[in-house]
Structure 1
Amino acid sequence: MADDELQAIRARRMAEMRAAQGGSAGSMGLPAGMAAGGPPGNSAEEAEKKSQMEEMRRNMLYQILDNDARERLARIKIVKAEKARAVEDLLIRMAQTGQIRAKVNESTLIGLLEQINEQNQKETKITYNRRREDDSDDDDFGL
């Protein structure tokens, strides 16, 4: 019974998403001047569409991650939101391409974080600039 209800909810959301995408695709044929001056209700539609996309994103992450990994990602999001967003994007891409077969646990998430850190790690290089001048402060002791 619960599976049937879940399938019905998913089907309804997918239909809503398709309808929202179909409605926005029709406005692409308008001239540039008309597209810029949209109706005032357009921002409300965009906000609703954005909230639906975020809801889908959360649902996908809920399906991809187990509880421990989800908690770790939430803690990372508190400290470094852009890094957490990058990890979420990576996980969603991996799930869509079929690279993830089972739920991602905390140790797998840590491995992904380490890979992202290695890719984004900047090498620190310190250069000493020693100046040699005839007018050194050490020579002023005799004055």
Structure 2
Amino acid sequence: MADDELAQIRAARLAQLKQQGGGRGGGPTGDGGHDDDQKKQESEARSSILHQILEPEAQDRLGRIRLVKESRATDVENRLITLARSGQLRSKVTEDQLKDMLASLSEHEKQSGQTLESVKVVRRGGWDDDDDLDDLLKDS
């Protein structure tokens, strides 16, 4: 069964490489339909690979992550596809393994300072609304 999955991954990768090689040599053609077809085929190839390497529970979790933060889901997908293509995945990825991968991604982002989860508001000191109001009332 693992040989069938590997063959399907290789076929999807070969199709992707053929698409990339064919699109580079011709230059811009002005044909927007070709780009849409290529993007659709790449998306289908990614979906196929992910379907082959993820258990159903992990697929569901990745789908929920995509709803909340698409960039995070894309990062995880790219990492999973890279691992699959390099032969580092020996079995389908479980939901727990996906959670571990997400945790390691979060730690990596925290260490590199890429998170934008907190906002620090610094207010300037030295002014007070109450004093200004009292000054206006005294002058009138």
**TM-score normalised per structure 2:** 0.66
Residue number in structure 1 paired with 2:25: 26
Are residues 1:48 and 2:47 paired?
A: no
Given the alignment, which residue of 59, 76, 86 partners 1:87? 76
Distance 1:13 1:98, change over 3 A: closer
Between 13-22 and 85-94, the greater mean CA deviation after superposition: 13-22
Structure with more relative contact order (C-alpha pairs < 8 Å, separation 6 or more): 2
Q: Secondary structure at the match of 1:104?
A: coil
Kept in 1: contact 2:58–2:94 (CA 8 A):
yes
Q: Secondary structure at the match of 2:92?
A: coil
Given the alignment, which residue of 57, 68, 78 partners 2:46? 57
Q: CA offsets per residue over residues 37-83 of structure 1, 9 Å max, x none?
A: x3x4x211111011000000000000110011000111111111111
List 4+ stretches of structure 1 deviating above 4 A.
9-19, 120-131
Q: Secondary structure at the match of 1:93?
A: helix
Q: Secondary structure at the match of 2:89?
A: coil
Residue number in structure 2 paired with 1:139: none
Larger radius of gyration: 1
- Cα distance between partner residues in 2 of 1:117 and 1:11: 30
- Cα distance between partner residues in 2 of 1:59 and 1:72: 17
Are residues 1:111 and 2:100 paired?
A: yes
Q: Secondary structure at the match of 1:101?
A: coil
- Cα distance between partner residues in 2 of 1:112 and 1:10: 21
% identical equivalent positions: 31
The unaligned stretches of length 5 or more in structure 1 are 28-34, 132-143
Q: For 1:87, give the aligned amino acid.
A: V
Give the aligned CA root-mean-square deviation in angstroms.
3.5
